[in-house]
């Protein structure tokens, strides 16, 4: 089983983990399943990746000098060519990233080897290593937040594909032919119908929205679920719309990747009690899985998943060479 391969090969390693998002980066020192210490730093809005590296270098240096790390595992919020330790594409931010050599940066700055992976793939690795997907080999993870992230593992291996896109575009599965234009260029993606950035657009164009209690509040998922549970009819209709969108995306992912487990993370899962039972029922009723029923489960590790995911990142690849 994949997990047993991970254990035993990394037991003596200390790894510096970096989870680089759009506005913040978290640096941590990891030993097996423990985060020995971590520090989150803010990144300037206009930061290039070169600028971001200058911001994260001091905390990494401090942790390295205290903990004597063996390697750096770097999670990045874009398309990553992990086999060549290269950032393949970014979405608007960090446009210098594709031309930067992070391995060289790690060698020069810390005298350490570096491995690079997409942050969503690292989050799934973390959940498989010590979270909601322990012992699982065939998993799809969705992250419901500002956007909708996706990642797939088949037979214990992260799906990557020829162009590093395989499995990570589940949020851009079309769920309606007459929907909104998405940031990806498509129409009616799950993300453009039921994500944090799309929700205000969807809500404001909903019939009867001006009479909804949501109209006088910030339109986010927390307020949406709150208004719906208080009996607001429009909020209830919007919740049903979002649940059906996520359900359709789940069925698409099941038919594409043949998982046995769906894991859901992201800020929207603060309302997990209103989401997971619906998705479990939707999947049971709508996915064609004659072998049984795909299970639906909440992620367990939150923001720590991508940090802990660096451990199997090192154990599942070729032997580490300094």
Contact positions vs Zn ion (CB under 5 A): 172, 182, 184, 186, 189
Give me the least distance between CB of 210 and Zn ion, in Å please: 28
Q: Can you tell me the distance from the alpha carbon of 167 to that of 154, in angstroms, rounded to the nearest whole number?
A: 10
**Collapsed DSSP state (helix, strand, coil) of residue 127:** helix
Contacts of residue 142, Cβ cutoff 8 Å, sequence gap at least 6: 148, 149, 150, 170, 171, 246, 249, 250, 253, 262, 263, 264, 265, 266
Strands 148-154 and 157-158: antiparallel
CB of 184 to Zn ion, least distance (A): 3
Minimal distance, residue 263 CB to Zn ion, in Å: 21
CB of 168 to Zn ion, least distance (A): 12
Q: Would you call 73 helix, strand, or coil by DSSP?
A: strand
Buried b (16+ CB within 10 A) or exposed e, 277-301: ebbbebbeeebeeeeeebebbebbb
- The secondary structure of residue 85, as a DSSP letter, is T
- Residue (49 or 189) nearer to Zn ion, CB: 189
DSSP letters of 10-54? Answer: STT-EEEEEEE-SSEEEEEEEETTEEEEEEEEE--TT--HHHHHH
CB of 159 to Zn ion, least distance (A): 19
User: What's the CA dihedral at 197, 54, 18, 192 to 10 degrees?
Assistant: 10
Please say which residue, 172 or 297, places its beta carbon nearer to Zn ion.
172
**Toward Zn ion, which CB reaches closer, 147 or 309?**
147
How much helix, strand and coil, in percent to the nearest 5, is found in the chain?
45, 20, 35
Q: How far is the CB of 172 from Zn ion (least distance, A)?
A: 4
Q: Is the CB of 91 or the CB of 293 nearer to Zn ion? A: 91
Nearer to Zn ion, 67 or 186 (CB): 186
Q: Mind giving me the DSSP string for 222-244?
A: HHHHHHHHTT-HHHHHHHHHHHH
Cα–Cα dist 192/181, whole Å: 7
What one-character DSSP code corresponds to residue 188?
S
- When the beta carbons of 85 and 252 are compared against Zn ion, the nearer one is 252
Least CB distance from residue 186 to Zn ion, whole Å? 4
Q: Nearer Cβ to Zn ion, position 118 or 280?
A: 118
Taking the complex as a whole, the smallest distance from the CB of residue 192 to Zn ion amounts, in Å, to 6
- Taking the least distance from each CB to Zn ion, the nearer of 173 and 310 is 173
């Amino acid at each position: 089983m994949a997990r047993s391969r991970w254990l035993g090969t990394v037991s003596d390693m200390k790894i510096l983990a970096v989870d680089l998002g759009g506005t913040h980066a978290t640096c941590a020192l990891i030993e097996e399943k423990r985060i020995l210490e971590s520090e989150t730093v803010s990144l300037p809005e206009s930061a290039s990746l070169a600028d971001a590296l200058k911001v994260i270098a001091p905390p990494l240096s401090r942790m390295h000098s205290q903990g004597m790390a063996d390697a750096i595992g770097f999670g990045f919020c874009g398309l990553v060519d992990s086999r060549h330790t290269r950032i393949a594409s970014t979405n608007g931010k960090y446009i210098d990233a594709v031309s930067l050599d992070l391995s060289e940066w790690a060698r020069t700055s810390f005298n350490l080897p570096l491995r690079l992976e997409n942050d969503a793939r690292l989050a799934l690795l973390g959940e498989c290593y010590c979270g909601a997907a322990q012992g699982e080999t065939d998993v799809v993870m969705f992250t419901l937040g500002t956007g909708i992230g996706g990642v797939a593992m088949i037979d214990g291996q992260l799906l990557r594909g020829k162009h590093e896109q395989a499995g990570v575009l589940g949020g851009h599965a079309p769920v309606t032919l007459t929907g909104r234009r998405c940031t990806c260029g498509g129409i009616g993606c799950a993300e453009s119908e039921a994500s944090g950035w799309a929700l205000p657009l969807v809500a404001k164009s909903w019939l009867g929205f001006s009479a909804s209690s949501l109209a006088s509040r910030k339109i986010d998922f927390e307020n949406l679920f709150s208004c719906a549970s208080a009996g607001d009819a429009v909020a209830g209709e919007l919740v049903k719309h979002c649940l059906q969108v996520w359900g359709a995306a789940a069925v698409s992912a099941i038919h594409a990747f043949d998982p046995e487990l769906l894991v859901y993370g992201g800020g929207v899962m603060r309302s997990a009690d209103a989401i997971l039972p619906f998705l479990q029922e939707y999947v049971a009723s709508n996915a064609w899985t004659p072998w049984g029923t795909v299970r639906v489960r909440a992620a367990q590790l939150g923001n720590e998943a991508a940090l802990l995911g660096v451990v199997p990142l090192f154990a599942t690849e070729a032997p580490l060479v300094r």
